Amino acid sequence: MQCMRIAVAITALSAAPAFAENWADVTRTPEGALVSVDKDSTEISAGHVKFWDRTVLPAAQLIGIYDDKLMKAQNINGVTHYVEMRGYRDVNCQKHLYGTSAVNYYDAKGTAVSKGLQDAAPTPIAPGTLAAQEAKLMCPSS
């Protein structure tokens, strides 16, 4: 199962939204970060909706450099600053689960400075969370 998640994550990284992007704002956090979803990256299949989201920070933050590896401490290859984070999300609209398979980090010039994979199991979507806001916006209405 873990190999399958990694394969899906690698596919997600190669499918990063490089061409048309249609960012729809979801919310602004209390810290001032703007969170958006890319409506053009949406894939819907078997009750799941997959898409890229983006968080633009008001100030640069530090991140480990993962070089397309699992985001675990032993895989860090230095550190860098980022101002934008994009996550490849998988929402199971029927079971109300939210997962992430890849996260890419970008500097102020828009250059990818770190790309990481995640293999955590999807988690239940709690009411009032960012995941709930994204699911409401991205899941097809019944």
The helix/strand/coil state of 14 is helix
- DSSP collapsed to 3 states, 75-124: HCCCEEEEEEEEEEEEEECCCCEEEEEEEEEECCCCCEEEEEECCCCCEE
Whole-angstrom Cα distance, residue 83 to residue 58? 7
Q: Which domains does the chain have, with CATH numbers?
A: 2-138 (2.40.128.710)
Q: Tens of pLDDT along 51-63? A: 999 999 999 999 9
The predicted model scores a pTM of: 0.82
Q: Tens of pLDDT along 64-114? A: 999 999 999 998 999 999 999 999 999 999 999 999 999 999 999 999 999
Q: Which residues contact 41 (CB under 8 A, 6 or more apart)?
A: 15, 17, 21, 50, 51, 52
pLDDT score at 2: 45
